Chains A and B, each alone.
Chain A
């Protein structure tokens, strides 16, 4: 393991070293998607330059090499998540597809009329809409666990919403809009006490700390490669083997079958049963490279560094007149969501962009949460291990600029 040196890390990200609108880029939108280290870019180039062919079918050398790299990435994900077996790792397009897979396959098999699905008020649309569609189709009911003014889950209320009709609880590990870290281990314990399985949306959690699915004891865990410094277009669904085995296929096609006849088809075992069609081969290998790269870092030191940035940023932003932070949970990752008196986030975003500062503005695919906090939208600065205090200083300078323009 190499010691964590933030300045050296930054050097590994080519995209961060450029100018926009004549100013050095300050990238503060990693919660939407993270930039890629050289190690991942090199891996992608290597796959396509040397080891690329379709997987799981060619008898020739190149296909075998590609297959080996693909399956090696599955084992890397297994280790990264602390899963019991590699066959519990299903490659999908991203978190959204992972949740849709569970809603569609597990949901259709287990959720019926009058049943309930529990989500929280701080979910990303991708952990709301698939369940809503399922509930509409099945005549089931979507229940929503509330959030307090700090942006923390009200656990005692969540517990009350776990009923004999609840078929699954789907909760985010970390809120994309607020940064709140949820006590998913405790939620899993409460749900399991009533025999209810738990899906965890880990998209925002995995880039910021170690995750162990057996420690959390969740039934499903989903994340995207692109937020984890890997390529876009690839993601992971972890599922306990006994769930995955019992679930019907999600999509039909090649790769997922053992034997196809017009009278009927037999499917492969897990995880291949859920991987119809040619997958994003290079993407999966690139994700494996991202995990190698990340795992070589002292992740405790990374988390401590990011937490220090969060504290520095929270204080720096509070010095801006008229600024209000949205989401002040005690357990938070480095996400700073805020509004400025009388200035719409869209205008903030446009002016910051001209200063070279990239932030996300809008509802962050969490409209119910925005409504909960009485704002149509926020501006959000989300940090990663390659950010610095200087980036936050640039943000604050930019916000003073915003106030000047609107003065």
Chain B
């Protein structure tokens, strides 16, 4: 049960029930979708990017608690950050949800995103946690092509 509690922390459940930044933000000029063929979940990430800074971020779509909360928390975390910072944040986040050891150190600098640390114990759910992030990176690459977790 403790691993389940670690996965479904109250912050995650809160963002699942009340997702932040849903919809298309003002000034949005980039977007991309991510699909998880395993479950059919789809998320579309919208970004307003100016001067290499993410001015605003939003998302559409619904999925499991992990993917919805991840999209919600991601849009909060990347707002106001430079593209280089966003890329660093993505790498730290991916490390957090996939790596097996050194849990505590990796949480530094992740802020609220650290609540996804429990995902590492559930390998099949890593795709849920990273779906919105992959879509966001696709949007930043400006290609805007739909990405797949596969």
Contacts and interface: CB of A to CB of B under 8 A. Distances in A.
Contact of B65 (A344, A367, A377): A344
Contacts of A376: 39-41, 62-63
A377 B40 contact: yes
Given A346-B125, A347-B65, A362-B39, 6 more contacts: A342-B17, A346-B39, A346-B63, A347-B64, A376-B39, A405-B5
Contacts of A265: none
Lowest 6 CB-CB distances: which A-B pairs, in order? A344-B64, A346-B64, A363-B40, A362-B39, A347-B65, A347-B64
B40 A350 contact: no
A279 B40 CA distance: 34
B3 A406 contact: no
A235 B4 CA distance: 39
B128 interface: yes
A370 interface: yes
A351 interface: yes
Nearest to B122: A350
B8 A406 contact: yes
Contacts of B66: 346-347
Contacts of A405: 4-5, 8
B39 A361 contact: yes
B59 to A, nearest CB: 16
Nearest to B61: A376
Contacts of B17: 342
Contact of A345 (B1, B39, B124, B125): B39
Interface string A332-356: 0000000000111111001100100
Contacts of A343: 65
Interface of B: 1, 3-5, 7-8, 13, 17, 38-41, 62-66, 68, 122, 124-125, 128
A343 B7 CA distance: 15
Contact of A377 (B39, B68, B122): B39
A346 B39 CA distance: 8
A351 B3 CA distance: 10
Contacts of B124: 350
A347 B39 CA distance: 11
Contacts of B3: 354
A50 to B, nearest CB: 39
A220 to B, nearest CB: 28
A351 B39 contact: no
Nearest to A367: B40
30 contacts: A342-B17, A344-B63, A344-B64, A344-B65, A345-B39, A346-B39, A346-B63, A346-B64, A346-B66, A346-B125, A346-B128, A347-B8, A347-B64, A350-B122, A350-B124, A354-B3, A362-B38, A362-B39, A362-B40, A363-B39, A363-B40, A367-B40, A370-B40, A376-B63, A377-B39, A377-B40, A405-B4, A405-B8, A406-B8, A406-B65
B10 to A, nearest CB: 11
Contacts of B128: 346
Contact of A406 (B13, B40, B62): B13
A381 B62 CA distance: 23
Nearest to B65: A347
Contacts of A361: 39
A370 B39 CA distance: 11
Given A344-B65, A376-B62, A406-B13, A350 B7 contact: yes
A363 B40 CA distance: 7
